[in-house]
């Protein structure tokens, strides 16, 4: 997102919405699966009552894993997990820890199945009303916020994992073969949802995103 592809997406977003993307910081990082019993593979999720946000992509993913998705508000999730209305859920580590959901869902499966972005936006008309000096300051502030926020997010995930384990949470990192099964079953349903929303040029953007991801990974 910090490379040419992110710049092109920002330009397209500006043209369609009138909002300028100052930066692409993450929203507390990756989402994982949390449950009342261990989940090591797709088979372990079959028929489980999983609380999933009303997000078409996430719903498509969990249904592809044969989970029984249920709708529960975030504020009521702890009680729902406690009562058995749901057996598991997905969110970021920070969100899970802040609500102490590990008390009722102590098993953490690090699928990293979805990555949250929380772009920093500014109205373009207002941005253009600023002096060149202030425009530069806004751009620099957005970049600094993104870099510092991402670093803090990564560091907090390490601290939070230690704190949760001290409270009895059990973390499981799926093997490469297990992750491949999760991905092969759920990635395409998510992409299909995206394509339905994006229109005629959707597949082109999906292909370019995968290509940019592959290129970025080759540089690591």
pLDDT tens track of the chain, all 220 residues? 888 999 999 999 999 999 999 999 998 889 999 999 999 999 999 999 999 999 999 999 999 999 999 999 999 999 999 999 999 999 999 999 999 999 999 999 999 999 989 999 999 999 999 999 999 999 999 999 999 999 998 898 889 999 999 999 999 999 999 999 999 999 999 999 989 888 888 999 999 999 999 999 998 8
Mapping DSSP onto H, E and C, the string for the chain reads: CCCHHHHHHHHHHHHHHCEEEEECCEEEEEEEEEECCCCCCHHHHCCCEEECCCCHHHHHHHHHCCCEEECCCHHHHHHHHHHCCCCEEEEEHHHHHHCCHHHCCCEEEEEEEEEEECCEEEEHHHHHHCCHHHHHHHHHHHHHHHHHHHHHHHHHHHHHHHHHHHCCCEEECCCHHHHHHHHHHHHHHHHHHHHHHHCCCHHHHHHHHHHHHHHHHHCC
Where along the chain do its domains lie? 26-119+131-192
pTM of the model: 0.90
Question: CATH for 26-119+131-192, among 3.30.930.10, 1.10.10.10, 3.40.190.170, 1.20.1260.10?
Answer: 3.40.190.170
């Amino acid at each position: 997102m910090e490379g040419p592809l992110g710049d092109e997406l920002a330009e397209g977003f500006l043209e369609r919405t009138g909002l300028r993307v100052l930066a692409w910081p993450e929203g507390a990082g990756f989402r994982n699966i949390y449950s009342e019993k261990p989940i090591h593979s797709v088979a372990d999720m079959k028929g489980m009552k999983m609380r999933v946000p009303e997000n078409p992509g996430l719903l498509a993913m969990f249904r592809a894993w044969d989970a029984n998705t249920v709708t529960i508000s975030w504020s009521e999730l702890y009680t729902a997990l406690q009562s058995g209305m749901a057996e598991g859920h997905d969110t970021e580590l920070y969100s899970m820890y802040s609500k102490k959901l590990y008390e009722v869902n102590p098993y953490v499966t690090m699928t990293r199945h979805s990555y949250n972005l929380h772009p920093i936006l500014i109205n373009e008309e207002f941005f253009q009303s600023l002096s060149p000096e202030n425009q530069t300051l806004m751009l620099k502030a957005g970049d600094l916020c993104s870099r510092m926020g991402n670093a803090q997010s990564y560091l907090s995930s390490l601290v939070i994992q230690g704190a949760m384990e001290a409270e009895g949470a059990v973390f499981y990192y799926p093997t490469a073969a297990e992750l491949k099964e999760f991905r092969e079953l759920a990635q395409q349903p998510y992409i299909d949802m995206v394509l339905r929303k994006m229109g005629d040029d959707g597949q082109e953007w999906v292909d370019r995103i995968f290509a940019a991801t592959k290129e970025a990974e080759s540089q690591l």
